[in-house]
Chain A
C-alpha cells in the first residue's frame, strides 16, 4: 500500500517517493521496510489493542464477536470512504448524519412498494442529490466546506423530521434485513461491501485522472486551477460521490436497525472523520490513504467493542473518540512540521 503518484505529469521528473516504495534500488529495501513500519504504526496499535483486549476478555476472539466488530466497523467505514476522498481534496462534510437519515428514511418509506434494489437505488440517488447541494454551496456560493455542511446538516435533519413527522419508520421487509445484515461464511455482508467500496475508492483516488485532480486541488488549489484542471467540477463530483457513500452507509444502518428516523446518525460525522484522520489522511488535504481509513474504522470498532466488553459506561465513548482524534491530529501536525517538506509526497 503506497500513496505514490503513479501518473507523473511531466516525463522528465523523477519519482521521489518520500513514503518509499521499493523502487529500483536494492539498498532502499530495508529503509523502505522501516518507513513502511513507521507509516503503518496504526496496524501495530490495532494488533496490540486486539491482543490486550483478548487477554483481558478471551471472549473477544470468538468468531461471533469478531464478526460483530467487523459489522460495526463497516458502517463508519462505508461513510469514511467518501470522507477520505473529501479530505484528500481539502474538503469536509459534516452533514453525514443528515444524509444518512434522509436516505434511509427514503428506503424505509418506499420499501413496501418497490423491490429492494429499487429502494437502494433511490437512497443512493438521494445521497447524490444531497451531495450535489453541498458541492454547489461550497463551489459556487463559495462557503467554507465545514460551515456550509454544518448548515446543510440541519437542513437535511429538518427535512428528515418533517418527512417522518418525528416518528420512527419501521422496515417490515425481512428480505431487506437479511440482505443487509446477512453473512457470507462468518464475514458480514456490509463488511464485504465496505472492502469492495474501499478498493474502488482507492482506485478512484490513486489511479484515475479524477483522483489526481482531487489530490492536486487538495494540495494546492490555486496551482491546480492554473494548471487548467477542472477544479470546480471535480469538487462537486467529490461531494456527490461522498453523498452516495453516506447513503450506502445509511442503507445498511437502516437494515441493522430495521427502521429509520431523523436521529439515527446524529454525531456520526465525528466517528467518520476520526476514522479517516486517525487512519493517516491529513486534514490539510493533498493525499489520502484508503488502507489507513480501513484500519482506522476497524480500530474504532475494536475500541468500542472493548469498552462494551469491559463494561465501561457508553458515555466514555464520546470522550475517547474525541481524545483519540485530537491525539492523532496533534501527532500528525508534529510529524509533518518536523520531517516533511510540503509536496514531497
Chain B
C-alpha cells in the first residue's frame, strides 16, 4: 500500500497494465463467445445438410426445397419475435395458439372481405394478442412465462370457439397462391422472411430500440437507472412477438388452404428451440437474428429429412426435445466459459 502511494507513476503503470489485461480478457471472451455461438448452430446445420444430401432421397429435389423454404420461412418469422422477447428476458409460450387464432380469423376474413384485408386482419389479430400478453406482463406484473402459458390456453380456447371445431376452407385462389408463388425461383414467404430478418437485424443492431433491448435484457435494473422505459420495451417486444405470430399465421393459412383450431400446436417449442440454437442467450441481452434464421432452416431440414425417410412423426418430437436440450446446454456452457474468461483463469 505504502509503495503505491510513494510511487504514483508505478501505480499508474500498474493500473494501465491491469486495464490492458482486462480489456484483452474481455476481447478474448467476446471472440470465444462468438465462436461458440456460430459453431453452436453452423456445425449442426452443415452436418444435417450434408447428411440430408447424402442419405435422404429427393432431399434436394426442387419441390422439397421449395417446401422446406416455405416452412422455414414461417418458422423463422415467428422466431424473430421470440428472439426479441427472449432478448428482454421474457418468453412467449402463446405463439402457437396466437398463430392458430390469427390463421383462422385471417381465413374467415379472406372469405368475407378479400385477400388483402384478410391478411391485414390476421396480422392485426396477432398484434392484439401480443399486446394482451405485454399488458399482462407489464401492467399486472405476471411473470412472462406463466402469463403466456395461461394465454396459450386462453387463445387456444378462443380459436376453438371461433371455429366451433370445424375447419375453415379458404376460397380465394389468389390468397392461396401467395405461399407457393415464386419470384426469381425463390418462394415469396422466404423472401418475406429474409426481408423481415434484415429489418429486424437493422432495428436490433443499428437503432436505438435495439440498444434498449440489449440494455433491458442485460440488466433491467440498470436499464431503469439509465432512464429507459423498461415497460415500453417489454410491451413492444411482446407486441412484436404477437405480430410475427400473426404474419406466420397468415402465411400458414395461405400455405395450407384449410385451417382448423388445432394448427400450430407445439409451435412455441420449435420457436424457442431455434432461437436458443441460433445463439440468443436465455439469460437475455443478446438477440441474434441471423442465428435464428439459420436454425429455422436447420430444424426444417431435420423435420423434412425425417419425413422423407418415412420415420414416424413421433420421432420428430424426440428430435425436437433433444435439439432444445442440446441448444440449452450449449447456451449454459457458453455462459460458463465466458464467465471463466472474464474472471481470469484462476477462479
Instruction: Kindly provide the distance from the CB of A294 to the nearest chain B CB, expressed in whole angstroms.
Output: 21
Partner of A147 from the list B151, B158, B282, B319 (CB cut-off 8 Å) is: B282
Which of B113-121, B231-239, B310-318 forms contacts with chain A? B310-318
CA distance A151 to B269 in the complex (A): 8
Chain A, residue nearest B283 (CB): A144
Q: Is the CB of B315 within 8 A of A158?
A: yes
Determine if A318 and B153 form an interchain contact, defined as CB atoms under 8 angstroms apart.
yes
Q: How far is the CB of A99 from chain B (nearest CB, A)?
A: 13
Given the interface pairs A151-B321, A315-B157, A315-B161, the reply to whether A144 lies near B282 with Cβ below 8 Å is yes
| Residues on A with beta carbons closer than 8 Å to the beta carbon of B165 | 315
If A142-B332, A315-B160 touch, whether A148 touches B142 (CB-CB below 8 Å) is no
* Residue A325, interface by CB 8 Å: yes
B162 to A: closest C-beta gap in Å? 9
Q: Are A154 and B318 in contact (CB under 8 A)?
A: yes
For B162, the closest partner residue in chain A by CB is A315
**How would you classify the secondary structure of chain A's contact residues: helix, strand, loop or mixed?**
helix
Q: Mark B156-198, 1 if CB is under 8 A from A, else 0.
A: 1110110001000000000000000000000000000000000
Chain A residue contacts of B152, Cβ below 8 A: 270, 322
Are the CB atoms of B150 and A155 closer together than 8 Å?
Answer: no
Tell me the bound Cα distance from A334 to B147 in angstroms.
15
State the CA gap A103–B272 with chains docked (Å): 27
Number of B residues near A (Cβ < 8 Å) is 43
Are B269 and A319 interface neighbours, CB within 8 A? no
Cβ distance A121 to chain B, nearest Cβ, rounded Å:
26
Instruction: Knowing A162-B315, A329-B142 are in contact, say whether A154-B157 is a contact too (CB < 8 A).
Output: no
Looking at B12-20, B24-32, B60-68, B323-331, the stretch in contact with chain A turns out to be B323-331
Could you tell me if B314 and A326 are in contact, using CB atoms closer than 8 angstroms? no
**Cross-chain pairs A/B with CB under 8 angstroms, 5 sampled:** A137-B325, A142-B332, A144-B282, A270-B150, A313-B161
Min CB–CB distance A261 → chain B (angstroms): 12
Q: Decide if B150 touches A325 in the complex (CB within 8 Å).
A: yes
**Footprint of B on A, CB under 8 Å?**
94, 137, 141-144, 146-148, 150-159, 161-162, 165-166, 262, 267, 270, 273-274, 277, 283, 313, 315-323, 325-326, 329-330, 333-334, 337
Contacting residue for A152 out of B158, B272, B325, B336, CB 8 A: B325
Residue of B nearest to A330 (CB): B140
> Which 10 A-B residue pairings sit nearest by Cβ, starting from the closest?
A318-B157, A161-B314, A158-B317, A158-B318, A154-B321, A155-B321, A322-B154, A319-B157, A322-B153, A322-B150
Which residues on B sit within 8 Å (CB–CB) of A318? Answer: 153-154, 156-157, 160
Binding site for A on B (CB under 8 A): 91, 93, 136, 140-143, 145-147, 149-154, 156-158, 160-161, 165, 266, 269, 272-273, 282, 312, 314-322, 324-325, 328-329, 332, 336
Residues on the B chain within 8 Å of A322, using CB:
149-154, 157
A residues near B160, Cβ cutoff 8 Å: 315, 318
Chain A residues in 8 Å Cβ range of B329? 141, 143
Is A157 touching B142 in the complex (CB atoms < 8 A)? no
Please give me the residue from chain A that is nearest to B276 by CB atom: A147
Chain A residues whose CB sits within 8 angstroms of the CB of B161 once the complex forms: 313, 315-316, 319
Q: How distant is the Cα of A289 from the Cα of B303 in the complex, in angstroms? A: 43
**Separation of A274 and B154 alpha carbons in the complex (Å):** 13
B324 lies within 8 A of A151 (CB): yes
Task: Name B318's contact: one of A162, A274, A337 (CB within 8 Å).
Answer: A162
Question: Given the complex, which residues of B lie within 8 Å of A157, measured CB to CB?
Answer: 314, 317
Verify A326–B317 contact, CB threshold 8 A: no
- Could you tell me the distance between the alpha carbons of A142 and B281 in the complex, rounded to whole angstroms? 13
Residues on B with C-beta less than 8 A from A334 are: 141
Chain B residues near A158: list those with CB within 8 A.
314-321
Are B321's CB and A152's CB within 8 A?
yes
Set of chain B residues within 8 Å of A148, measured between Cβ atoms: 325, 328
Q: In the bound complex, do residue B332 and residue A143 qualify as a contact, i.e. CB atoms below 8 Å apart?
A: yes
Complex: how many Å from CA A159 to CA B144?
29
Cβ-defined partner of B325 (8 Å) among A151, A159, A166, A326: A151
User: How many angstroms between the C-alpha atoms of A315 and B146 in the bound complex?
Assistant: 20
Interfacial chain B residues near A273, Cβ < 8 Å: 146, 149
Contact A166 B153 (CB under 8 A): no
Which A residues touch B143, using CB under 8 A?
283, 329
* Distance from A11 Cβ to chain B, minimum over Cβ atoms (Å): 37
What is the CB-to-nearest-CB distance from B78 to chain A, in angstroms, rounded to a whole number? Answer: 16
Which residues from chain B contact A144 at a C-beta distance below 8 Å?
Answer: 282, 328
Q: Point out the residues of chain A lying under 8 angstroms from B151, CB to CB.
A: 322, 326
